[in-house]
Amino acid sequence: MPASNHIVFFDTTLRDGEQSPGCTMHLDEKLRIAHALATLGVDIIEAGFPIASEGDLKSVQTIAAEIGTGRNAPRIAALARCRQADIEAAARAVEPANSNRIHTFLSTSDLHLAAKLKITREQALDQIAQMVALARTYTDDVEFSPEDATRTDPDFLVQVCQVAIQAGATTLNLPDTVGYCIPEDYGAMFRTVQHRVEGIGGVTLSAHCHDDLGLAVANSLAAIEAGARQVECAVNGIGERAGNTALEELAAVLTVRRDRLPYGHSIDMQHLYPTSQLLASCISFGAAPNKAIVGANAFAHAAGIHQHGMMANPLTYEIMTPESVGAPKSSLVLGKHSGRRALEQRLRDLGHPLSKVELNEVYTRFTDLADRKKIIYDQDLLGLLHLQRSVMSA
């Protein structure tokens, strides 16, 4: 097992995240996100895929020069297929950064080799060896990913990893490219590679999970438990199809459950929500309301029983404070499931403490209104109170 328990956060919001529909960003938007990621404390920013376009190459170069050269700057990475032109473009793009990385990949499952690349296993091994070695001539930090690793024959995957290490790879990323794995299987793959690949002790193992079955975070945790010390993730979990491992969820799990997961990280938790909001302003959609950690409802309570508990002690229904992730304070949302206590507290906050009789009368009118209206606003409450007091004084 690795000696260090520090988990490296490799953020791919600007690369895999931007590839998802509705998430394309312009240079100024990418720069704003990159600055926020640096403030958030991510270790590595995968800034783009330089060979894709001149615009993408320029974006990576600009981020490398502006974000990657400051004190305690994150490492700047660029993606490249196992092709000479890709690697040369990636090298030019990340060159301005103090610390940089070339991340190169090639499909290794028999399905991908036959249907997509139309090459043999032997050809794949030769290509990996040549292109990883080429990348090492530009930087001493090279990451190799066998695409579709979780559907690759285990014996061949061991060969692939061995060849990549011998060619100079310093990080091996084993992606669940199509989000097919369950945690037990994903962890087992990492253990197999650790036990069977020579020289693996000096290499960082990395997890890259997609959320097609809703298991990206769970699979990433399984990989950590099996020896991975880098996790590739994205803000709000954006990415191809159902998205990537959500950075904010993984960071929160590692922070809240230190009792079972004794791993450190460099993420500044109070910047999670602001970074999520910034990303939402740059792309065409925000986090779902019920999204863990950063969703609008993550710290909102509508059920009367929950509201009563929250007023007595927030720990009854919150395992972390909204302030700890930089979110607005908890809210008690008034609706048809709310109880007397929440209504009484809200009216008191508005400057109208009620007697028990008044509360009972107003609550009856409140529940009648809540059956007809989805959201009850402060002006609705004040209107109910005014109506009730008018009736009582008549």
| pLDDT (tens place) for every residue of the chain, 394 residues total | 466 899 999 999 999 999 999 999 999 999 999 999 999 999 999 999 999 999 999 999 999 999 999 889 999 999 999 999 999 999 999 999 999 999 999 999 999 999 999 999 999 999 999 999 999 999 999 999 999 999 999 999 999 999 999 999 999 999 999 999 999 999 999 999 999 999 999 999 999 999 999 999 999 999 999 999 999 999 999 999 999 999 999 999 999 999 999 999 999 999 999 999 999 999 988 899 899 999 887 877 666 667 667 677 767 767 788 899 998 776 667 777 788 888 888 788 778 888 888 888 888 888 888 888 877 777 788 888 878 777 766 5
Considering only CA atoms, which of 144, 133, 26, 14 is closest in space to residue 68? 14
Domain boundary pick from 247, 282, 317: 282
In a domain, 144, yes or no: yes
Same domain membership, residue 330 and residue 205: no
In a domain, 292, yes or no: no
Q: How does pLDDT run across 131-168, given as a tens digit for each residue?
A: 999 999 999 999 999 999 999 999 999 999 999 999 99
Instruction: Name the 3-class secondary structure at 208.
Output: strand
In a domain, 288, yes or no: no
Considering only CA atoms, which of 250, 102, 243 is closest in space to residue 164? 102
Same domain membership, residue 326 and residue 249: no
CB contact at 8 A, 146 and 160: yes
Helix axes 216-225, 183-196, angle to 10 degrees: 30
Same domain membership, residue 221 and residue 273: yes
Tell me what pLDDT residue 380 has: 82
Tell me what pLDDT residue 330 has: 65
Tell me what pLDDT residue 1 has: 46
Same domain membership, residue 89 and residue 184: yes
Structure tokens at 302: 């509508």
366 Cβ contact partners less than 8 Å away, ≥ 6 residues apart: 334, 338, 343, 376, 381, 384
Tell me what pLDDT residue 239 has: 97
Maximum C-alpha span of the chain: 92
Tell me what pLDDT residue 345 has: 82
Same domain membership, residue 331 and residue 266: no
What are the DSSP calls for 82-151, one per residue? SSHHHHHHHHHHHTTSSSEEEEEEEE-SHHHIIIII---HHHHHHHHHHHHHHHHTT-S-EEEEEETGGG
Domains held by the chain: number: 2
Long-range contacts of residues 151-154, Cβ cutoff 8 Å, at least 24 apart? 151/109, 151/111, 151/177, 151/178, 151/180, 152/108, 152/109, 152/110, 153/109, 153/110, 154/189, 154/192
In a domain, 209, yes or no: yes
Can you give the residue range of the structural domain that contains 327? 300-393
Same domain membership, residue 230 and residue 343: no
Same domain membership, residue 274 and residue 146: yes
Same domain membership, residue 304 and residue 277: no
Instruction: Judge residue 247's burial from the number of C-beta atoms within 10 Å of its C-beta, 0-12 exposed, 13-18 middle, 19 or more buried.
Output: buried
For tokens 């958030």, the residue is 40
For tokens 């993420």, the residue is 267
Tell me what pLDDT residue 265 has: 98
pTM of the predicted protein model: 0.87
Q: What is the CATH number of the domain that holds 277?
A: 3.20.20.70
Cα–chain center distance at 203: 24
Considering only CA atoms, which of 103, 109, 207, 200 is closest in space to residue 149? 109
Same domain membership, residue 273 and residue 310: no
Domain boundary pick from 248, 282, 316: 282
Instruction: Count the alpha carbons within 13 Å of 159 in the hemisphere toward its beta carbon.
Output: 13
Tell me what pLDDT residue 358 has: 86
Domain boundary pick from 230, 253, 282: 282
In a domain, 324, yes or no: yes
What does the buried/exposed string (b/e) look like for 150-188 if buried means 16 or more CB atoms within 10 Å of the residue's CB?
bbbeeebbbbbbbbbbebbbbbbbbbbbbbbbebeebbe
Same domain membership, residue 44 and residue 157: yes
In a domain, 261, yes or no: yes
Same domain membership, residue 172 and residue 112: yes
In a domain, 293, yes or no: no
In a domain, 319, yes or no: yes
Residue-level length of the chain: 394
Same domain membership, residue 373 and residue 227: no
